[in-house]
Structure 1
Amino acid sequence: MGLISRLKDTLKEDIANARAHDPAARGDLEVALAYSGLHAIWAHRVSHAMWQHERLKTPARLVSQAARAVTGIEIHPGAQIGRRFFIDHGMGVVIGETAEIGDDVMLYHGVTLGGRSLAKVKRHPTLHDGVVVGAGAKILGPVEIGQGSSVGANAVVVKDTPPDSIATGIPATFRVRGASEHQAAVDPAEYVDPAMWI
């Protein structure tokens, strides 16, 4: 598969992912042109590819800073980000150099994946597949957020959380989800009550 074909597939996947995560999305063209989170991810993919070459590290930082100026989202070119990553709204998101983000992760605005050390080591969080991080949450240090976990809005996480957990508070505490919390309480196809989304 050629580079152009892979690029087209990635762009289509990103647009479809944004539409799946945002009920306000009205069409592919609108999403491609108007979603700053998507623009930040695309710019990151370019800057991350450049970051792999020593002579392109400074230009990679310039690309990431230009994206920050345009989108309000700062992603260091060294951060590793998986597929179908979505940033909703986006303004104020900061993702540090050694952050690692798995597939199918979603961040809301104001999220920080930051460090707690100045040492040149792994100092930013790892978010495993399927993690959702609420608005304003701060995840600090080389902590791991387990697969399928959620971090509540404005939580401050400084310790590892196991898979399928919910982390809330300052500092965050977590609990592992029960089996019933993985299923919708009501089948939306049969009954739609706006209050169930609150």
Structure 2
Amino acid sequence: MFRDLGEYLDSIKARDPAPRSRWEVLLYPGVLALGLHRISHWLFKGELYFFARLVNHISRLFTAIDIHPGAKIGRHLFIDHGFSVIGETAEIGDNVTIYQCVTLGGTNPTNGVGGKRHPTIEDDAILGSGAQILGPITVGKRSRIGANAVVTQDVPEGATMVGVRARPTLVQVEQYQEEFTPYGTPCSEVFDPATQKLEILQCEMEQLQKRIAAYAEGRDKVDGDDSESKRDSA
């Protein structure tokens, strides 16, 4: 058990440059919330729903993180800072990173019968600050959800999604191959969470400028070929 705990704390240190030791990581609200969720989930599976909810509410009081006792969570989940909500039928794989103010929300079943209403987050996914993942969709392995993105459809493996409503964005292959990208949106080498919206807009502007330049270059080439054809015919 202690070895597993040590591996978990080390996995957080590998994704967060702030802590200087494992002891400091133990104070993280996300670590406490996950530990209490393990207890509430065990009670939930034993159909002790009241006590499961009681532990859930205690956890929310101390951590500002609301994880429904029914949610299924894999190994080494890192919830940075907190203020996140994870719904009852949500499923989270291994080594997932969730930044502040993220919601794994459900949809209202049209037939009034509960079922799979919340997202499935697969291994190594990164959910940026303020992201809203809604409905019984799947976020694929190693995918990245940018800050404040609203995701309502399945996300392919390795994709990077930004915007409202979320759409895929092009990523440099060097950045795609990185094992971990802080804050989920690899737009530049320096990515400050306080300026994520601006970073995303700058990233989109750069892509648009590249497309315009490529289009203009193609038009110049076509015009040049037409001019040569006219001279040859004359």
Give the structure-1-normalised TM-score. 0.85
Q: What is the distance in 2 between the residues matched to 1:144 and 1:30?
A: 33
Deviation at 1:172, TM superposition (A): 0.7
Contact 1:164 1:176 in 2 (8 A): no
Q: Do structure 1's residue 108 and structure 2's residue 102 form an aligned pair?
A: no
The reply to whether residue 74 of structure 1 matches residue 75 of structure 2 is no
1:16-75 Cα offsets, whole Å, 9 max, x none, are 12211110101111211x200111011111111111111x22101110110000000000
**Equivalent residues, number:** 179
Which of the numbers 19, 28, 34 marks the counterpart of 1:25?
A: 19
Of 3, 8, 12 in structure 2, the residue corresponding to residue 9 of structure 1 is: 3
> Quick one: which amino acid aligns to residue 27 of structure 1?
S
- How far residue 176 of structure 1 moved from its aligned partner, in angstroms, is 6.8
In terms of fraction of residues, the more helix-rich structure is 2
Q: Which amino acid aligns with 1:23?
A: P
Segments of structure 1 that go 5 or more residues without pairing to the other structure are 1-6, 185-194
**CA RMSD, Structure 1 to Structure 2 (Å):** 1.5
**Contact 1:14 1:38 (8 Å CA) reproduced:** no
What is the CA–CA distance in structure 2 between the aligned matches of 1:85 and 1:26, rounded to whole Å?
19
Of structures 1 and 2, the larger Rg is shown by 2
**Which amino acid in structure 2 is aligned with residue 75 of structure 1?**
I
* Aligned partner letter, 2:90: A
Partner residue, 1:123? 117
Structure 1 CA distance, aligned partners of 2:54 and 2:133? Answer: 25
Could you tell me which runs of 5 or more consecutive residues in structure 2 were left unpaired when the two chains were aligned: 179-187, 192-234
Question: Judging changes above 3 Å, is the alpha-carbon distance between structure 1 residues 121 and 174 closer, same or farther for their aligned structure 2 residues?
Answer: same
Check whether the contact 1:132–1:149 (CA below 8 A) recurs between aligned residues: yes
> How far did residue 141 of structure 1 move?
0.3
Mapped to 2, the partners of 1:53 and 1:177 lie a distance apart of: 45
Which structure has the highest strand share of the two?
Answer: 1
- 2:226 counterpart residue number: none
Q: Is the 8 A contact 1:162 1:176 kept in 2?
A: no
Tell me by how many angstroms 1:197 deviates.
2.9
Q: In the alignment, which residue of structure 1 is the partner of 2:40?
A: 47
Question: What CA distance in whole angstroms lies between the structure 2 residues aligned with 1:27 and 1:152?
Answer: 29
Aligned to 1:96: 87
* 1:60 counterpart residue number: 52
TM-score for the superposition, normalised by structure 2: 0.73
Identity of aligned residues (%): 45
Within 1, Cα distance between the matches of 2:150 and 2:174? 26
Secondary structure at 1:113 match in 2: strand
Q: 1:176 to 1:44 in 2, by over 3 A?
A: farther
Tell me, yes or no, if structure 1 residue 182 matches structure 2 residue 173: no
Q: Is the 8 A contact 1:164 1:177 kept in 2?
A: no
1:187 maps to none
SS of 1:16's equivalent in the other structure is helix
Q: CA deviation at 1:10?
A: 2.7
